[in-house]
Chain A
Amino acid sequence: MTALAALIRRDIKIALRVGGGALIGVLFFLTVTVLMPFAIGPDLPLLTRLGPAILWLGALLASLLTLDRLFTADHEDGSLDLIVMGRTPLELACAAKALAHWLAAGVPLIVATPALGLLLNLDVTATSAVALTLLVGTPALTFTGMIGAALAVTLHRGGLLLAVLVLPLSIPVLIFGVAASQAAISGPLPFGTPFSILCALSLVSLVVGPFAAAASLRHGLD
């Protein structure tokens, strides 16, 4: 357990320091959300209707932006070799890294949501619904994105490949995340239905993600 706690602590520390990914993600989220009203125009009912979708897309792109460095940084400086060699199972190490990434890059997005909701003319209920769906949905984004991040390391291609690999996997999360938020705002569906599916997606990715990522890292060792 000390090994995993040490790994989580280290990754969070690096993310929060200068040049780390945590702040970049939030700034990107802010930029995307602020740009939308400019593009759509001052049509308040339309903004309200699109608000949850915009926030979800922003969060998705922001988490993708920082996922790129999840394994490549460790691969480039040789840390990944030592993590693979270590006595901690690689699956758990991957899960710890993803958890650290979520705490450092995912949670700030959720915290920023209420402020950004104001810009999109969302009321308190709508904003809290979006924040709640992001809270249960962003772990799924991180843990499925981790599979793409591991593949990008083993294929020696970062950036664009990651986006191409990860975005299709995130479609179900996006659908049910936005559906749950919309249900809370305007109905007619009960909030619980899409929300439970979103929870299920997160739980599945928590299980599948670490195993798939570890398998990819092991297979691609070089």
Chain B
Amino acid sequence: MRLSGRQIDCIRGGRRVFSGLGFEASSGEVLAVVGPNGSGKTSLLRLLAGLLVPAGGSVELEGGEAELTLPEQAHYLGHRDALKPALSVHENLSFWRDFLGGKAGDVGQCLAAVGLGHAINVPAAYLSAGQRRRLSIARLLVVRRPVWLLDEPTSALDTAGQNLFVGVMRDHLAGGGIIIAATHTPLGIEARELRIGGAT
């Protein structure tokens, strides 16, 4: 499986964020998108997730399921955790498992895997920022998607959480997945760097 972008232009609010951007990532590879604030890291991820329309260029996924689009084969982990405060941890994750569909795993196991096994009945409103992030990471585990688009995935995670996440990413890569991550801090995993915007 190979994800590639060619000559991508992105314009937001009349401002050219980046242009002529090209990249490539194959199965088992991490592409770390780095650059200063406002250089367009999040824009690139949202563009790949189909949430922004590129002003030019093309994105292609080879070797995926032919009848599905890239966004339908991708997980997007953004700044916002997509959790409902009124629902419990278990209900939040079960909803995303049922809604996202495809190959799905066991909710309880995934919660245990991210260290939330003790809190399954707690409403999401009472979770800390780090716990919310862990719950979002559980979403990556409960439904299998080959492409992961991660926006600052390790923000708010403690050291143990970061180590746990490295393990999660390694498992995904070993299974032939692709990870595109926008980050300021090292991911703790060997990655190809894609530098955008600002001083190079």
Contacts and interface: CB of A to CB of B under 8 A. Distances in A.
A160 interface: no
A7 B52 contact: no
B53 interface: yes
A20 B50 CA distance: 31
A157 interface: no
A171 interface: no
B98 A2 contact: yes
Given A77-B81, A87-B68, A14 B76 contact: no
A156 interface: no
Interface in A55-114: 76-79, 81-88
A105 to B, nearest CB: 15
A86 B76 CA distance: 10
Contact of B82 (A6, A20, A78): A78
A221 B51 contact: yes
B86 A78 contact: no
Contacts of B71: 84-85
A6 B76 contact: no
Contact of B86 (A7, A17, A81, A83): A17
Interface in A5-29: 5-7, 9-10, 13-14, 17-20
Contact of A85 (B12, B72, B87, B91): B72
Contact of A88 (B79, B83, B99): B99
A82 B81 contact: no
Secondary structure dominating the interface of B? loop
Interface in B93-141: 94-96, 98-102
Contacts of A222: 12, 51-52
B99 A3 contact: yes
Contact of A18 (B51, B82, B86): B86
A137 B76 CA distance: 39
A6 B87 contact: no
A85 B98 contact: no
Contacts of A18: 86
A82 B52 contact: no
Given A84-B51, A87-B102, A222-B52, A78 B96 contact: no
A78 B80 contact: yes
B142 interface: no
Contacts of B50: 84-85
Interface string B63-96: 0000010011010101111111011000100111
Given A78-B79, A85-B51, A221-B53, A13 B102 contact: no
Contact of A19 (B52, B68, B72, B86): B86
B51 A14 contact: no
Nearest to A93: B99
Interface in A178-222: 221-222
Nearest to B53: A221
Interface string B3-36: 0000000001000000000000000000000000
The 7 closest A-B pairs by CB, nearest first: A78-B80, A6-B98, A78-B82, A85-B71, A17-B86, A79-B82, A10-B95
15 contacts: A3-B99, A6-B94, A6-B95, A6-B98, A10-B87, A10-B95, A77-B84, A79-B82, A81-B49, A81-B82, A82-B99, A82-B100, A84-B50, A85-B71, A221-B51
Given A6-B99, A10-B87, 15 more contacts: A2-B101, A5-B98, A6-B98, A13-B87, A13-B91, A14-B87, A77-B82, A81-B80, A83-B99, A84-B51, A86-B100, A87-B68, A87-B72, A221-B52, A222-B12
Interface of A: 2-3, 5-7, 9-10, 13-14, 17-20, 76-79, 81-88, 221-222
